Amino acid sequence: MAVALRKISPWRFVRAVQVAHIPTLKLHMTGSMMGATVEQFNHAKSQMGTLKEDPGNEAKLKIYALFKQEDARQQYVDLIDSLLAAEGPAVAAQPTGSAATFETLLVSTEDNITTICLNRPQKKNAITVEMYNEVIKALAQAGKDDSVITVITGSGDFYCSGNDLTNFTKIPEGGIEQMAKNAGELLREFVKAFIDFPKPLIAVINGPAVGVSVTLLGLFEIVYATERATFHTPFSQLGQSPEGCSSYTFPKIMGNAKASEMLLFNKKLTAVQACAQGLVTEVFPDSSFQTEVATRLKAYAKLPRNSLALSKQLIRGTEKERLHTVNDQEVERLVERWLSDECMQAIMSFFQAKAKL
């Protein structure tokens, strides 16, 4: 069943029709045939590109026909003016880039690609409470913008080192129980933002990845990695348990045995190993990683936006309810873990080990 594309640029439609060589239509319109000046005609052409809504196929065919007739400038100008008037007052164009400001992220949109870059390079892009909230906000924004695909990557040498464990040192008035509850709800919303994201989501792993930044990868459509990337989920070392729906997606992707090596026994994978097990789509030499990936992304971003989004719904839709259930179960288990003596002891041992370095 064909899907009508929304908010397609009328000027792009004109170009497409020119290529298709559709015969010029004979239109019967009132008004002076030569009344518009060259300046008015050129202004109308520029105004056509500001239309926010698709005017419909009939209007677009008229625009094309008038554009091709050298003696129909006034009709062309009148038609564009009427379309603009129907939309109401013009709204100033938004600058390229993020509509919101972020403290822990760099968010930009260019060439139909929205890029969310984790930006705490001095801390190996460890995820703080603030970063959790900002990623949720950035994904919500990217899901509604005009981009075709969304990319997540990291700044500096690391993709992400997982949770910033100083999160566990910020005890609220309600004590440890309240801290665990708050953290659980935040994690639930964080993972939910990935499960529900409507567009193709691509991870560009520019360096080592740890913890939740790894477990989420099963929710991405594509994972590209540099050859120096590694993938580590040291949950049992910290007395914790998997999240990011990995308890479901990892066995499905790589089988129970390989998933258990990672999620239970803390095995760190190289990029090549992760690719062989299906967690990573493709591995690139570090020297050409950014260039080769950028070429792929630009090509993907030229594909029809609605077609990609609807196809993703078909692929992911049947499992979305299951993923939400898994997310809830994982969060409940983690809250229990965070309140356990075993987990607290493991985290204290981690801080003590860091203090000795």
CB distance 186 to 161 below 8 Å:
no
Predicted structure pTM score: 0.74
Phi and psi of 73, rounded to 5°? -60, -45
Q: Which residues contact 220 (CB under 8 A, 6 or more apart)?
A: 152, 194, 201, 202, 203
Q: What pLDDT shows up at residue 347?
A: 80
pLDDT of 42 strictly over 80: no
Q: Which of 38-47, 137-146, 246-255, 274-283 has the lowest mean pLDDT?
A: 38-47
Q: How many domains does the chain have?
A: 1
Please report whether residue 265 resides in a domain: yes
Please report whether residue 201 resides in a domain: yes
Question: Residue 340 maps to which CATH number?
Answer: 3.90.226.10
Who has greater pLDDT, 160 or 49?
Answer: 160
The Cα angle at residue 141 between residues 103 and 292, in degrees rounded to 5: 80
Please report whether residue 219 resides in a domain: yes
Averaged confidence pLDDT in the chain? 83
pLDDT of 44 strictly over 90: no
Please report whether residue 11 resides in a domain: no
Please report whether residue 43 resides in a domain: no
Q: Which domain holds residue 315?
A: 102-288+311-355
Mean pLDDT of 331-340: 96
Who has greater pLDDT, 30 or 314?
Answer: 314
Please report whether residue 245 resides in a domain: yes
Please report whether residue 304 resides in a domain: no
Who has greater pLDDT, 40 or 119?
Answer: 119
Q: What is d(CA 142, CA 127) in angstroms, rounded to the nearest whole number?
A: 20
For residue range 247-271, what is the model confidence (pLDDT) as tens digits?
999 999 999 999 999 999 999 999 9
Q: Which of 195-199, 200-204, 223-227, 350-354 has the lowest mean pLDDT?
A: 350-354
Q: How many residues does the chain have?
A: 357
Mean pLDDT of 213-241: 97
For residue range 11-25, what is the model confidence (pLDDT) as tens digits?
333 344 343 333 333
Q: What pLDDT shows up at residue 351?
A: 74
- Among 220, 241, 225, 224, which residue's Cα sits nearest to residue 323? 220
Element (H, E) at 118: strand 113-118
For residue range 105-137, what is the model confidence (pLDDT) as tens digits?
999 999 999 999 999 999 999 999 999 999 999
pLDDT of 43 strictly over 90: no
Residue type, 93: A
Please report whether residue 75 resides in a domain: no
Q: What pLDDT shows up at residue 61?
A: 52
Mean pLDDT of 203-221: 98
- Among 191, 97, 101, 182, which residue's Cα sits nearest to residue 147? 97
For residue range 165-185, what is the model confidence (pLDDT) as tens digits?
788 777 888 898 999 999 999
For 187-221, the three-class secondary structure string (H helix, E strand, C coil) is HHHHHHHHHCCCCCEEEEECCCEECHHHHHHHHCC
Q: Confidence band (pLDDT; 50, 70, 90) for 285? A: very high
For the ranges 2-6, 39-43, 167-171, 273-277, the maximum mean pLDDT occurs at 273-277
CB distance 100 to 67 below 8 Å:
no
Q: What pLDDT shows up at residue 36?
A: 62
